[in-house]
Amino acid sequence: AYPNSHIALTKALLEGCKYCADPNNAQEVRAILASREYVNTDMDFIQVEDPSGNSCDLDHPMREYAHHQFYGNSAINRPSRTEQTWIMTQLARWGETPFPRNWVEIVERVCRVGVFSTAARELGLDISYTRQPIQLFDGKPFNADDPFAYLNGLEIKRDFSVAEVVLDINRKFVA
């Protein structure tokens, strides 16, 4: 109903994430997060950056701690249809829901990139939307263009089903 407000809020979130990711602001961010209004803990328990300067990825060994990525190269906050499709495969993999036959339609409806793209463009961020396979911790590549190959190739999984998901149901809601 208020597209300009939605874009403005998204821009504010992106700018806030960029601020939090700046090492020069780490102490202030730690103090805010540790405060009573948020986590209510000692600042020593809050770490917002990777002290070695590395980010978590498959090319680096496991770390003994966790760090937070608020911004990265700005793409960390980008809505990802690949990740959303992978989440649907996991729900099907473990028998929680059938994998939707109309998964492309669902992902396009749920993972709308327009507001983010507009906000990022207005902030001058370079955001690309190349849909590439991702490699997960188990070494199995996930290609969002063929989620069935991924599901069928998994060694550990439950039997999964495929079903059409009806998206437009005319319902009357009682107030």
- Three-state SS string over the chain comes to CCHHHHHHHHHHHHHHHHHHHCHHHHHHHHHHHHCCCCCCCCHHHCCCCCCCCCCCCCCCCCCCCCCCCCCCCCHHHCCCHHHHHHHHHHHHHCCCCCEECCHHHHHHHHCCCHHHHHHHHHCCCCCCCCCCCEECCCCCEECCCCHHHHHHHCCCCCCCCEECCCCCCCCCCCC
What's the pLDDT tens digit per position in 61-117?
A: 554 444 456 666 556 678 889 989 999 999 999 999 999 999 999 999 988 888 999
What are 1-34's pLDDT values in tens digits? 788 999 999 999 999 988 988 889 989 999 999 9
What pLDDT does 57 receive?
52
Question: pTM for the full model?
Answer: 0.69
